[in-house]
Amino acid sequence: MKAVIPAAGFGTRFLPATKAQPKEMLPVFDKPTIQYVIEEAVASGIDDILIVTGRNKRSIEDHFDKSFELEQTLQSAGKDDRLKQVRDITDLADICYVRQRDQKGLGDAIYCAKKHIGGEAFAVLLGDSITKGSVPCTKQLIDVYEKYNASAISLEEVPREKVERYGIIKGEEVEKDIYRIDKLVEKPLAHQAPSNLAIMGRYVLTPDIFDKIDETEPGVGGEIQLTDALSKLDSIYGNTFEGKTYDIGNRFEWLKTSIEFAMDDNEYKNDLIEYLKKVISQN
């Protein structure tokens, strides 16, 4: 299976940090966000990845490209650990790029992948969210897709006051954690939302989605919404992800995620706790 990572947004919520670099390159603890996303795809058995980029794409390409000078410098300095880290990034997967010409929405960004994908089911991982779970989120969706032979999307319950930020579904739970979806609404008002089950940025889609996107008129925000195209599919399932999704497109979430990931690192954990205690006591 191939994967598509849309990474063409302007990242306006993160200005000025995103003025000259994509938000997908913002580091979370010690790695750019998009590297975690690609690692999830690889851990789910995918090694052919198409990144849909927009302006300021160069740093993403450079990050996953070979860096002769850097490798040579690290090699002559005998920094073997660092050298391995740098080489591992390049060897992660086969990555290619396509550029979304106009910012016409997530649906349009996915449509840019049509030629590369061909007639097979494929995964979509939004470039500004990270997931953590014992089974990778995308792998869980591949399993649902294979079981039900239909598109599958990851879901998470969100507080009612946050439904306006997400695509929200209505569905029937057909087995533990799996929903047959009969309605999807992009960013509904809280009182109009059909539930509080939100689409969390991971999808496995059947290739008929491309025709559905083609038939989709601009929706919320005047953009071609993937959620609107998904509602046109004959059959679609949702999986409440066993794990946690981190939405990096939001400053506070990004900050919290960096702290949480640093806490997972034994080298930093204790020092970070001491430091945070000190900061808290001073405030």
> Is the C-alpha dihedral spanning 8, 13, 17, 20 positive or negative?
positive
Query: Residue 79: how many CA atoms within 13 Å on its side-chain side?
Result: 11
Least distance to ligand G1P from the beta carbon of 151, Å?
14
- With CB under 6 A as the contact rule, the residue among 14, 36, 166, 261 that binds ligand G1P is 166
**Of 258, 241, 159, residue with least CA distance to 200:** 241
Size of the site for ligand G1P (CB under 6 A): 15
Place of tokens 């046109």: 232
Stretch that binds ligand G1P, among 48-56, 62-70, 222-230, 265-273 (CB under 6 A): 222-230
Does 261 bind ligand G1P (CB under 6 A)? Our answer is: no
Residues 230 to 259 in contact with ligand G1P, rule: CB under 6 A: 247, 249
Q: Can you tell me the distance from the alpha carbon of 270 to that of 260, in angstroms, rounded to the nearest whole number?
A: 13
Does 227 bind ligand G1P (CB under 6 A)? Our answer is: yes
Residues 71 to 110 in contact with ligand G1P, rule: CB under 6 A: 106
Annotate 11-56 with DSSP letters as a single string.
-GGGTTTTSSS-GGGSEETTEEHHHHHHHHHHHTT--EEEEEE-SS
Q: What b/e string do you get for 153-176 counting C-beta neighbours within 10 Å, with b at 16 or more?
A: bbbbebeeeebeebbbbebeeeee
Does 186 bind ligand G1P (CB under 6 A)? Our answer is: yes
Cβ-based nearer residue to ligand G1P, 34 or 74? 34
Stretch that binds ligand G1P, among 13-21, 66-74, 198-206, 264-272 (CB under 6 A): 198-206
Least distance to ligand G1P from the beta carbon of 225, Å?
6
Least distance to ligand G1P from the beta carbon of 158, Å?
9
**φ/ψ of residue 189, rounded to 5:** -70, 150
Residue nearest to ligand G1P (CB): 167
Cβ-based nearer residue to ligand G1P, 200 or 209? 200
Does 199 bind ligand G1P (CB under 6 A)? Our answer is: yes
Strands (E), 133-177: 151-157, 167-175
**Of 258, 255, 27, 247, residue with least CA distance to 137:** 247
CA distances from 47 to 55, 142, 252 (A): 25, 14, 32
Least distance to ligand G1P from the beta carbon of 198, Å?
5
Does 171 bind ligand G1P (CB under 6 A)? Our answer is: no
What would the x/- binding string for ligand G1P be over residues 109 to 128, using CB under 6 A?
-----------------x--
- With CB under 6 A as the contact rule, the residue among 198, 205, 229, 248 that binds ligand G1P is 198
Specify the pairing of strand 178-186 against strand 167-175: antiparallel
- Give yes or no for a contact between 206 and 120, defined as CB atoms under 8 angstroms apart: no
- Using CB under 6 A, list all residues that contact ligand G1P: 106, 126, 129, 166-167, 186, 198-201, 225-227, 247, 249
